[in-house]
Amino acid sequence: MNPDFRIFNHIQTLAETVKHDLISVLRNPTSPTQAFNIALAGGSTPRTIYEQWAMIQDDSLWSKVHFFWGDERCVPPDHDESNYKMAYDSFLSRIDVEEDQIHRIHGEENPEAEVQRYAHEIKSHLQISNNTPKFDWILLGMGTDGHTASLFPNSPAVKEQQLYCVIAQHPQTGQKRISLTLPVINNAKKITFLVTGEDKAQIISEIFSHTGEFTVAKKNKLSNYPAAQVKPQSGILQWYLDEAASSLL
């Protein structure tokens, strides 16, 4: 199944669309009594989206939402590079949610212990399907090297098939991170890529054909791009791009 592929003329329009997507799904839940589990992304594009989400002041919509993270740098929660801090500052601190609805990765803790703790927390809160946790929605960004979450090209973390979370390492800086694995990402009910900027255009053009059809490649360089390996088993895949990111399509 081809993804939902949309191009926006401005990041603000993209952000408003994602806000309305969220409002729609929260107002029309498939199971009103169950939690809605979402994994957040880091980066500048998600920040714009979270600022839109902060405008949703209907407390009843937030009451069932539980927030997780697709990845986190191994830094304290008040560190400027913390994905948790970015989400908290831009919207979580501005909406009415309980502390137990926020499930952050403890980047300040020992990574080997934290990757196990976070996997257990995910398993204890989410529905398990195909022996894998099933998120309702996962937001993802994409780097200029084609990485997504903290799954970098040619990293052993990309090949992990059994664990829910892994310790990853930035290929240039060596900074340790904790990331969801591809099996967990691909088991989600919905995945939305949020990609903006001209510096992403080349990678986008290599992941998609010129008609916008999703290209599945196994033995050429697309297989090196973790973002190209996000292919949900039965869920919805969305690619939301701005005009700059899609300029080479």
Q: Which domains does the chain have, with CATH numbers?
A: 4-26+43-170+189-224 (3.40.50.1360)
Angle between helices 44-53 and 83-90 (to 10 degrees): 30
Mean pLDDT by 10 residues, the chain (249 residues): 89 97 92 90 93 95 97 98 98 97 98 98 96 98 96 94 97 96 98 97 85 55 84 94 95
DSSP E strand stretches across the chain:
4-8, 36-40, 65-69, 71-73, 128-129, 132-133, 137-140, 165-169, 176-180, 190-195, 236-242
Rounded distance between C-alpha atoms, residue 137 and residue 189, angstroms: 6
What is the per-residue burial (b if ≥16 Cβ within 10 Å, else e) of 199-215? ebbebbebbbeeeeeee
Per residue in 159-202, pLDDT (tens digit) is 999 999 999 999 999 999 999 999 999 999 999 999 999 999 99
The pLDDT assigned to 18 comes to 98
Q: What Å distances lie between residue 12 and 45, 183, 225, 249, CA to CA?
A: 9, 31, 27, 21
Four-residue CA torsion sign, 97, 63, 124, 88: negative
How many CB atoms are located within 10 Å of the residue 98 CB?
9
